């Protein structure tokens, strides 16, 4: 199921910008994994919000690796092209839309500007293989994906996320996705009104 849209659950994304970004931007690079990204609105929304907060000079150091099981085998092209039909972009705030989207040659389609597009790369990946795509992420965003898994699978995937984060890295999930008890000891909650967690040091 690939239901998604631009600026979905803005509250969680704003919490990331408010509470995780100040620590993350102290490093030379910000590496982000968006796990279960669907056809791109989520990683592109995050990229736009980060660019707004940190300015386009430092934004060059942001890399978002977006992954999805991509059952339809379509997301690679959609994400690389970053071209979306009018109905998918019309609810984006007007000022943001004017700044980050341009009209595409294809009628009623809009393309995300290159600066944002180049910050997001895509690869197919099945979270349930439990093979991570890296171990240097400052932030892992996994929203509206874990609800499709059973509790044992959720625990193993979250352990994989833990191993994929740098010391003090952040994990963000959707508002309704609580951390299973078995992995609570691995993270500290960052705020009370979003599922944003900070990796605890290995003891
Ligand atoms: C409801 S969409 C969520 C998209 C986006 N994260 C959001 O919140 O708007 C769920 C996504 O999870 C992906 N997914 C489901 N099982 C997966 C798996 N085992 N590994 C990777 N992605 C998976 C689906 O292909 C789908 O694109």
| pLDDT at residue 92 in the model | 96
Q: Does residue 53 fall inside a structural domain? A: yes
DSSP-derived secondary structure letter, 5: -
Q: Does residue 157 fall inside a structural domain? A: yes
62 lines ligand 1 (CB under 6 A): no
Task: Work out the number of other CB atoms within 10 angstroms of the CB of residue 72.
Answer: 10
User: What ligand 1 atom has the least distance to the C-alpha of 128?
Assistant: 19
The full 3-state SS of 109-171, as one line of letters, equals: EEEECHHHHCCEEEEECCHHHCCCCCCCEEEEECCCCHHHCCHHHHHHHHHHHHHHEEEEEEE
127 lines ligand 1 (CB under 6 A): yes
Q: Would you say 141 and 174 are in contact if contact means Cβ atoms under 8 Å apart?
A: no
143 lines ligand 1 (CB under 6 A): yes
| pLDDT at residue 201 in the model | 87
DSSP-derived secondary structure letter, 181: G
Question: Assign residue 36 a region: left if phi > 0, alpha if psi is -120 to 50, beta otherwise?
Answer: left
Q: Does residue 141 fall inside a structural domain? A: yes
45 lines ligand 1 (CB under 6 A): no
Radius of gyration from C-alpha coordinates of the chain: 16
Among 6, 33, 35, 69, residue to substitute to test ligand 1 (most atoms within 8 Å of Cβ): 69
For 27, half-sphere exposure in the C-beta direction (CA atoms, 13 angstrom radius) is: 19
Provide the number of structural domains found in the chain: 1
Q: Global pTM?
A: 0.97
DSSP-derived secondary structure letter, 93: -
Distance CA(138)–CA(67), nearest Å, equals: 16
For residue 51, what are the domain limits? 10-199
What are the start-end ranges of the H helices in 8-113?
10-15, 21-24, 41-59, 75-81, 86-89, 94-100
Among 6, 36, 67, 150, residue to substitute to test ligand 1 (most atoms within 8 Å of Cβ): 36
Which residue's CA is the closest to the ligand 1 atom numbered 3?
A: 144
The CATH number for 79's domain is 3.40.50.150
User: What ligand 1 atom has the least distance to the C-alpha of 70?
Assistant: 25
| pLDDT at residue 1 in the model | 56
Q: Does residue 1 fall inside a structural domain? A: no
Q: Does residue 51 fall inside a structural domain? A: yes
Q: Does residue 112 fall inside a structural domain? A: yes
Q: How far is the CA of 57 from the centre of ligand 1 (A)?
A: 31
Q: Does residue 2 fall inside a structural domain? A: no
Q: Would you say 42 and 4 are in contact if contact means Cβ atoms under 8 Å apart?
A: yes
Which residues of the chain carry a pLDDT beneath 50?
none
71 lines ligand 1 (CB under 6 A): yes
Q: Does residue 27 fall inside a structural domain? A: yes
């Amino acid at each position: 199921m690939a239901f998604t849209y631009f600026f979905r659950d803005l509250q969680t994304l704003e919490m990331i910008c408010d509470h995780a970004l100040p620590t993350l931007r102290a490093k030379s690079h910000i590496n982000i994994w968006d796990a279960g990204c669907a056809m791109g609105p989520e990683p592109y929304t995050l990229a736009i919000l980060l660019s707004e907060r940190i300015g386009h000079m430092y934004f060059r150091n942001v890399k978002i690796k977006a992954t999805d099981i991509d059952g339809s085998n379509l997301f690679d092209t959609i994400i690389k092209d970053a071209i979306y039909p009018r109905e998918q972009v019309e609810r984006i705030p007007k000022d943001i839309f004017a700044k980050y989207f341009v009209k595409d040659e294809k009628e009623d389609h809009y393309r995300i500007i290159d600066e944002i597009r180049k910050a997001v790369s895509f690869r197919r990946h099945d979270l349930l293989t439990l093979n991570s795509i890296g171990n240097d992420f400052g932030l892992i965003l996994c929203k509206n994906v874990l609800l499709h898994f059973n509790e044992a699978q959720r625990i193993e995937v979250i352990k994989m996320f833990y191993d994929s984060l740098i010391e003090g890295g952040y994990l963000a999930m959707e508002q309704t996705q609580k951390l299973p008890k078995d992995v609570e000891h691995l993270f500290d909650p960052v705020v009370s009104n979003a599922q944003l967690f900070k990796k605890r040091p290995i003891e």
